[in-house]
Amino acid sequence: MKLKKKSWIRYLFQIVLLLLLVIGSYLAYRNYRILKQIHQYDAQVEAAVKEQGIPEYKDLALSIIFTETKGVGDDPMQSSESAHGQPNQITESDRSIEQGVSYLSEAIAKSNAANTDLWTAVQAYNFGLEYIDYVADNGGKNTLELAEKYSRDILSPLLGNDDQTKYRYIGLHSFIYNGGYLYHNGGNLFYAELVKLNEQKIKWTNFLFE
């Protein structure tokens, strides 16, 4: 009986290991495909960050593309809203990247002037530049707690969600933090964390696309 039990445990362990290997391989391949799509914009992003005087933030700009669109579509940096106040207005990748990097540069400059951290500027890319003032008045550093308060108490009601209703949003950060939800019309409070993770993916794999 003990021998059979050990054999069963060994067999179960092998199945679990195989499943983890398959899932890991799928995720690695999926991320490679996404990164390949993003790196098609390398030259455009490099030119834009140099133009804006922030060449050191090329990987950060690429990680915003990763977070926003995964490199798919004509507005890779989802710049229509910062340029026109509504989505689907930009239909050329060059224009999207020029506007997106310009807006990122503006956020970084304002964040530096307000003595807030870089991730406040990144979160402001999603929330709007007023978020930088909010963080400056509340410790100077972006946190999930601050981002949630701003999303729930300021941004969401401002855009019509007076009841602060929520919707399901499944992701690693959201699941760990609050079980997986965001506020309607409240932006993505996990935005800076997602960009941070995606920037690491880009930095770790840059050698594959040189």
Determine the average pLDDT of the residues in 3-19: 71
pLDDT digits (tens, 9 = 90+) for 172-208: 889 899 999 999 999 999 999 999 999 999 999 998 8
Provide the mean pLDDT of the chain.
92
pLDDT band at 4 (very low <50, low <70, confident <90, very high): low
**pTM score:** 0.89
pLDDT digits (tens, 9 = 90+) for 167-179: 999 888 898 999 9
What gap in Å lies between CA 161 and CA 152, rounded to an integer?
9
pLDDT digits (tens, 9 = 90+) for 53-106: 999 999 999 999 999 999 999 999 999 988 888 888 899 999 999 999 999 999
Domain boundaries, the chain: 2-209
What gap in Å lies between CA 122 and CA 141, rounded to an integer?
12
196 Cβ neighbours under 8 A, 6+ residues apart: 63, 119, 122
- Which residues lie across from 167 on neighbouring strands? 182
Q: Among the CATH numbers 1.10.10.60, 1.10.530.10, 3.40.50.300, 3.30.70.1060, which is that of 2-209? A: 1.10.530.10
pLDDT digits (tens, 9 = 90+) for 95-137: 999 999 999 999 999 999 999 999 999 999 999 999 999 999 9
